[in-house]
Amino acid sequence: MTASKEASGVLREGANDIADMLGHRPASKYVGFALLLAWHYSLWFVPHMFAATELLDQRVTIAWLVNLGATVVFLLLIAFCLGRKRHLSSYRWLYAAAPGLTAAGTLALCLIPQVFATPEISYALSFFLGASESAMWILWGERYACVKASYSLRHIGTTFGLTLFITVGVAWILPTYVTTLFTAALPIVSGIALVAARRDGARAFPVLLPRSATQGGMKNMVAVSIITFLASIACYFLVAIIPWEALPPKDHSFTLGVLGGAVLMLGLAGISLATKDKANIFKMYPWLIVLIITAFGLFLADRETFFPAFILATGVSSLLEILLIMYFGILTSKGYVTPAVAFAFSGGFVRAGIAAGNTWAVEYERAPWLAEAITPETCLLLICVLAVLLIPLVRQEFNMIALTAAPPSRAEIDEICAEVSEEFGLSCRESEILVLIARGYTTNNMADKLVISPYTVNTHIRHIYEKMQIHKRSELLNYLNMQRNDF
């Protein structure tokens, strides 16, 4: 208990410094989460991260796959256990425990020689890191929900791109043991930034829409998640099937691939800034599928183009994770899903696809004669699958814009009023007043129509606010409009 309090004190002191340093710039709120992603990529993609083991050692590959699988399991498990009402941020001890345990696990995995000498230990540590990382993912997702993050591509793209490029680049050029210490410090700094972000006092989560009203958002999430899962499989099948001996920088190619993803993210941010289009995230997503198809084309074209194909596939795979966070984060801000579900889906499906694609390629490599015979055909099959995926992905783009931007019809508003009454247990009179508020009636108009005093109307309105955890009429109207008028 004493150690936990001391750790919390250190986090609070660091949080004050970071909060003062970052100020209130829109892009700064994303730095902490970007550092968590940078930790993951530095740990598994920088060649000299493990003091006594090569990055391309089979035991490291299996440990990474175990880590990916654990992250998927714990992200989805946490989201399922929390449900619609509970939040992981309610467990305040996690703000110190999750970053501290992640850093400690990183040091143990990378620096203790016996870890990979006894592979089971490395697999257990990798599994443990998946659990602690998942907790930090959800905590950051809930924080962004509380501050009503806009998930602007120009802000997130710039912040994530620069953070990944600088952090992974620094880890790459540092000496072996210094790199490990630097990488282990990243989750600590991310945790301090998380505590700093709570200093604004924002604790209110977006009010969830009634269950039936969220079905459209959930269907969209599932469809996009499945598409991204398949795209991630294709990406990492290509990454893993390319023989690293054929790549000029050898195992440094993985680091260059992550840096390439950071550059692509900065490019997307630049396009968003130039076009000033808030919906750019929806329009650009299909182009990532096109880039994956291009990477396969380069791989099939000639051995000389293996390296650009590898860099492009690795870079796009890192982009998928970040863009999916933005994609689903917007649904969270509109009340369609909880932040835990949004961040669990964004991280879980991408990493499940990466693990599946890498495992597929590894199985091919176990039978070189078979792989040589069917790899081109497999790549052509994946190209066809990706091309087919473009059709439903473009359709989901229009569905997403309709969910978040198109104003609801009067029939939709009447339907959501009925659903709200049932969801929050409103009385018959409160339900009547809710409908009138949705139709633009003033307090006096409602009093005249219902033949009651304005004081009684205000009393009913106050009860509605209390039951729905809403504080003013503008918030209520925004909610009844399915939060589409502020996109």
For residue 91, tell me if it sits in a domain.
yes
**Average pLDDT of the chain, as a whole number:** 84
DSSP sequence for 324-383: HHHHHHHHHHTTSS-HHHHHHHHHHHHHHHHHHHHHHHHHHHTSHHHHHHHHHHHHHHHH
Point out the domain boundary residue: 404, 423, 446: 404
User: How does pLDDT run across 427-478, given as a tens digit for each residue?
Assistant: 888 888 888 888 778 888 888 888 888 889 888 888 888 888 787 777 777 7
User: Residue 123: which pLDDT band, with cuts at 50, 70 and 90?
Assistant: very high
**Residues 460, 361 within the same domain:** no
pLDDT recorded at residue 53: 86
Same domain, 366 and 451: no
270 & 293 share domain: yes
Q: Cα-atom radius of gyration of the chain, to the nearest Å?
A: 24
CB–CB of 134/74 below 8 Å? yes
pLDDT at 226: 92
Query: For residue 53, what are the domain limits?
Result: 2-404
Same domain, 161 and 195: yes
**In this predicted structure, what is the pLDDT of residue 60?**
92
The model's pLDDT over 224-260, given as tens digits with 9 standing for 90+, comes to 899 999 999 999 999 989 887 788 877 788 899 999 9
pLDDT in tens, 250-277: 778 889 999 999 998 888 888 877 776 5
Degrees to nearest 5, angle at CA 272 with 401 and 347: 65
Q: How many CB atoms lie within 10 A of CB 482?
A: 23
CATH number, domain containing residue 468 = 1.10.10.10
What is the pLDDT averaged over residues 59-87? Answer: 94
- Please report whether residue 486 resides in a domain: no
Output the six-digit token pair for 249.
């920088």
Structure tokens of 230? 């398949």
Of residues 63 and 375, more confidence is placed in 63
According to the model, what pLDDT value does residue 21 have? 40
Question: How much is the pLDDT for 273?
Answer: 75
Q: CB within 8 A of 367, min separation 6: which ones?
A: none
Question: 323 near 144, Cβ under 8 Å?
Answer: no
Write the pLDDT tens digit of every residue in 14-24: 444 444 444 45
Q: Note the pLDDT of residue 355.
A: 95
pLDDT at 41 over 60: yes
Flag whether pLDDT at 352 surpasses 80.
yes
Residue among 88, 124, 125 at smallest CA distance from 103: 125
Which amino acid, residue 336?
Y
Q: Is residue 487 part of a domain?
A: no
Same domain, 54 and 137: yes
Number of compact structural domains in the chain: 2
Of the three residues 347, 378, 404, the one that is the final residue of a domain is 404
What tens digit of pLDDT does each residue of 387-410 get?
998 888 877 766 666 665 555 666
Residues 330 and 474 in one domain: no
- Note whether 325 and 457 are same-domain residues: no
**CB proximity list for 455: less than 8 A, separation 6 or greater:** none
